[in-house]
Amino acid sequence: MKKMLLIALPVAVVLVLVATLSFGLGRGHGHHGMMKDFLFYKIDRVSQELNLNPSQQARWDTFKKDLETTIDQRKGMRRQIHEAFEKELYKDNPDFTALTPTLHTQIDSTAQFAHDMVNRVNELLGDLTPDQKKKLSQIVIEKMREHE
């Protein structure tokens, strides 16, 4: 019994964490389009405030297009994972260890997405003038203070 608890408890905790992070439980669940629209609204607003030149704006537009494609692909992956979890959970004797590879894949994919976004944003920021960087710093500081 102890051995089963030692295995089941960590698996259950990981399932809850991944479900919360991957499927958005409790945070905008079912509002994918609205969240994406809001994100792009914010990106557009910042680009306007920075008064980007045509070359810079073209890079921001490419970033937005690539980001939208990635978000849509990740939504499809989340849907597939959700279906696999649901199928397993409805079994009389669900095998949670069978879901482990799927969990690891989702965790790795999320981490890689975050790394890619940091790199892409750094490319955009590296293209800004010193004045634009200062303006962006002010915008970020304001947003941070709003969330304190």
Q: 3-state SS of the chain?
A: CHHHHHHHHHHHHHHHHHHHHHHCCCCCCCCHHHHHHHHHHHHHHHHHHCCCCHHHHHHHHHHHHHHHHHHHHHHHHHHHHHHHHHHHHCCCCCCHHHHHHHHHHHHHHHHHHHHHHHHHHHHHHHCCCHHHHHHHHHHHHHHHHHCC
Q: Is this prediction's pTM over 0.85?
A: no
Question: How far apart, in whole angstroms, are the C-alpha atoms of residue 146 and residue 72?
Answer: 29
Q: Are 51 and 132 in contact (CB under 8 A)?
A: yes
The pLDDT value given to residue 16: 43
Which pLDDT score is estimated for 129? 94
Question: What per-residue confidence (pLDDT) applies to 8?
Answer: 45
CB 75 within 8 A of CB 35: no
Per-residue confidence (pLDDT) for residue 6, from 0 to 100: 46
Residue 31 is predicted with a pLDDT of: 55
Encode the chain (148 residues) as per-residue pLDDT tens digits.
445 444 444 444 444 444 444 444 334 445 566 888 888 888 899 899 999 999 999 999 999 999 899 888 888 888 888 888 888 889 999 888 888 888 888 889 889 988 998 899 889 889 999 999 999 888 888 888 887 7
